[in-house]
Amino acid sequence: MNIVVVTPPPVEPVTIEEAFVHLRLDDPTEANPDTAAVQAQIVSAREQCEQITRRAFVQQTLRLTRGPDRRNGERRGWDWFIGGGCVAWGDIELLRPPFIEMVSLKYFDDANTQQTVDPDDYFVTSDLVPKLRFVGGFSTPSIYLRDDAVQIEYTAGYAPVPADPDAEPPTAIDYRANVPSSIKQAILLAVQLQYDELTPEKRKALENARDSLLSSYRVHTF
């Protein structure tokens, strides 16, 4: 199994202005030599906190791929894939919640030609880590022997607040609005861990504080 980011978040969960306030810095403009460094540290901190929690924070598109295997030199087909050979109980976990929506489910058939599964043939559960399941009577095609034979694309992250063109003044999409405050604070601490020169004791204290803020958001799965 492999999972990659196809479309990265359009914004980071915390702004450069928030990071500057947290670090007690002034003037978060492009002319400030600290701005580019802190912006890069925000990205690194967010990625680190996502890895710790196994979550996606701001909306992003992910691609999860799985492949078949051989048994006695023969190709294992789709029925093996969804029947427990790759994933227990035939469910496919859509990692890095919160799940927003499916984009597509594709596979490479016996001729190594990519096909798309009709959305009517599957559904997604509402579990903390949602599961992709197939409807009864779904005809299971064969899968070509390649590591990325099955490709699932979906969007994940805390759902943004839609734009409101009728508001005064009109509002844009707010991708950060539903990211929990504890996660944002943990990201700021992770930025501080990169930016400040810290004693071992202070570093350990900040790491413990970051991990404590993230503890209730950890996803316990593969």
Four-residue CA torsion sign, 115, 119, 121, 123: positive
Q: Count the Cβ atoms, other than its own, within 10 Å of residue 128.
A: 11
The pLDDT profile of the chain, 222 residues, written as one tens digit per residue, is 899 999 999 999 999 999 999 999 998 888 898 999 999 999 999 999 999 999 999 999 999 998 776 554 455 566 555 554 443 335 789 999 999 999 999 999 889 999 999 999 999 999 999 999 988 888 777 888 888 989 999 999 999 999 988 888 888 999 999 999 999 999 999 999 999 999 999 999 999 999 999 999 999 865
What tokens were used for 208? 């413990």
- Alpha-carbon distance of 59 to 54, in angstroms, equals 14
Helices 200-214 & 33-53 angle (0-180, nearest 10): 50
DSSP assignment, residue 210? H
